[in-house]
Every structure is written in C-alpha cells, then in structure tokens.
Amino acid sequence: MPTDEDKQAYREAYQAWQRHLEALHAFLLEGRPPATGVDLPAAIKGLLNREARSKEKYDEARRRLIGVDG
C-alpha cells in the first residue's frame, strides 16, 4: 500500500511533468517561442532537458507508488 508521501510525490511529479510537456508542445506543435529575448537554441535545449528530467522524476514516483523497485 502506498504511503501518503508516495502519493503526494506522485501527484507533484506528474503535475511538474505535465507543465514541462505542455511548454515543450507549445513550442514544437504550436510554434510558440519558449521565451522572448533569449538564445533560441539554449531555450530549446532547456525545454527538452526540463521535460526529460521531470519525466524521469515522474517515472520514479510512479514506480514507488506501485511498489516496483528499479
């Protein structure tokens, strides 16, 4: 049975991943620039890195929630 901490960590990780994924999709699918007045390649790299890191945290939180190690 997952603990309250595991549940909260899962919710927070999922929400963070969705925020970062939404920002990435806004750029890739809708063409919205990541930010104004910034170096575009660096901004794109930042979007990709934030999404990837938050997805990893979400995956870890999900594994803890369902009791799967590794």
Per the structure, the count of domains in the chain is: 1
User: Is the confidence at residue 61, as pLDDT, over 60?
Assistant: yes
Q: What is the pLDDT of residues 4-54, one digit of tens each?
A: 999 999 999 999 999 999 999 999 999 998 877 788 889 999 999 999 999
The residue range of the domain holding 16 is 4-66
Better-scored residue on pLDDT, 1 or 28: 28
Contact 10, 40 (CB under 8 A): no
Residue among 62, 67, 69, 68 at smallest CA distance from 1: 67
Task: Indicate the pTM of the whole model.
Answer: 0.87
pLDDT band (50, 70, 90) for residue 70? low
Six token digits for residue 33:
């620039």
